């Protein structure tokens, strides 16, 4: 055969097309064999209440992209109470939430056989924000003065549920005061009208609600539970059983992002409140800034929180709270601290060093 014949066949158009086809097929198989690109983990998060000042702790992590940096796609929804937040995480409707630790303890102890109970993974309100509030003209100055008085609060209010602890700790029979139930929106209004002598509520909620109804700070008496011997923890971040077991790295990433945001919020609350305004354009920025600062000073950056470490709990104190909740809430089974609290997802000590110097 003539050399040019072999050359012509090797570089003929049909030969080039055949080789191109084989190369394309090989590349296609290689692409198909590559793993799918990792997508951000979706997390539905349930707040305990409306979009108010304290929700900046979570909204800043969203607005500044801290969740996204952890490969998390987080959706944050307003809530309607800690009990509902616990129930929604337990049902699987939400992956994580923000709820009073006592509410989580009560749910766990009252549903011992329920599969997949949520657990607390990070403490935020190291001291319960619960307080008794009264008008100064009532003459109430201490818990002892509540004997024979009419107290008001929604039935699920944390302060009302923990009232026996406050009463007994201050030498008062819990039955010495009568309770009136109402919807949350009517609580402060009924106090101002004189329908009740005192109310229970979170300090940074009820105090500002009274201000909004024309009552000045100097005319209000606030009796914070922590200052009168009640050492309950407040709200914590909770996670579903499924998320904890199936995506532990997502839980860790969420808490790292939250700790970073908490540092920013405490360092500059004025800037942080903008994230709440972005989410709810109807809020009063000045009012919500004050609410945020009150929440930080009374519940987040407290002496107890600084002693125990942000996000963390003290084992003896947690055990005491579990025992107290078992007694006061009259749960079906005793609260097991280990069943409600899992500290293994917390960020490092350096990452938890969030309090301003």
Instruction: Encode pLDDT of 91-117 as tens digits.
Output: 999 999 999 999 999 999 999 999 889
Which structural domains are found in the chain, ordered by start? 41-127+233-345 (3.40.190.10), 130-228 (3.40.190.10)
Instruction: Encode pLDDT of 285-307 as tens digits.
Output: 999 999 999 999 999 999 999 99
CB atoms < 10 A from the CB of 333, how many?
Answer: 13
pLDDT at 250 exceeding the cut of 50? yes
Task: Note the pTM of the prediction, 2 decimals.
Answer: 0.88
Q: Which residues sit opposite 73 in a β-bridge?
A: 42
Q: 2: exposed, middle or buried (C-beta count within 10 Å: 0-12, 13-18, 19+)?
A: exposed
pLDDT at 7 exceeding the cut of 50? no
How far apart are the C-alpha atoms of 30 and 143, rounded to whole Å? 74
Asked if 296 contacts 290 with a C-beta cutoff of 8 angstroms, the reply is no
pLDDT at 162 exceeding the cut of 80? yes
């Amino acid at each position: 055969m003539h050399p040019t014949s072999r050359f012509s066949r090797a570089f003929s158009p049909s030969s080039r097309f055949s080789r191109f086809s084989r190369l394309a097929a090989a590349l296609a198989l290689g692409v198909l064999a590559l793993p799918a690109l990792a997508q951000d983990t979706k997390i539905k998060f349930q707040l305990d209440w409306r979009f108010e000042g304290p929700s900046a702790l979570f909204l800043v992590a969203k607005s500044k992209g801290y969740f996204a940096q952890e490969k998390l796609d987080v959706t944050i929804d307003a809530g309607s109470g800690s009990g509902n937040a616990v129930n929604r995480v337990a049902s699987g409707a939400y992956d994580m939430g923000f709820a009073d630790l006592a509410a989580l303890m009560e749910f766990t102890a009252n549903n011992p056989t329920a599969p997949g109970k949520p657990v607390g993974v990070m403490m935020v309100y190291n001291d319960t924000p619960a307080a008794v509030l009264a008008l100064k003209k009532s003459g109430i100055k201490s818990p002892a003065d509540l004997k024979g008085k009419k107290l008001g609060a929604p039935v699920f209010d944390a302060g009302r549920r923990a009232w026996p602890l406050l009463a007994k700790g201050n030498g008062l029979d819990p039955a010495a005061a009568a309770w009136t139930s109402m919807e949350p929106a009517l609580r402060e209004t009924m106090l101002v009208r004189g329908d009740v002598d005192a109310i229970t509520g979170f300090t940074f909620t009820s105090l500002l609600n009274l201000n909004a109804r024309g009552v000045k700070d100097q005319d209000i008496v606030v009796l914070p539970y922590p200052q009168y011997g009640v050492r309950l923890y407040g709200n914590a971040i909770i996670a579903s059983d499924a998320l904890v077991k199936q995506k532990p790295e997502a839980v860790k990433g969420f808490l790292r992002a939250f700790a970073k945001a908490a540092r920013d919020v405490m360092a500059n609350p004025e800037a942080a409140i903008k994230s709440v305004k972005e989410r709810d354009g109807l809020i009063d920025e000045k009012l919500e800034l004050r609410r945020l600062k009150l929440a930080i000073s009374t519940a987040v950056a407290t002496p107890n929180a600084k002693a125990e470490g942000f996000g963390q709990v003290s084992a003896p104190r947690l055990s005491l709270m579990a025992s107290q909740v078992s007694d006061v809430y009259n749960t079906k089974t005793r609260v097991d601290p280990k069943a409600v609290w899992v500290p293994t997802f917390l960020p490092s000590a350096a990452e938890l060093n969030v309090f301003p110097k």
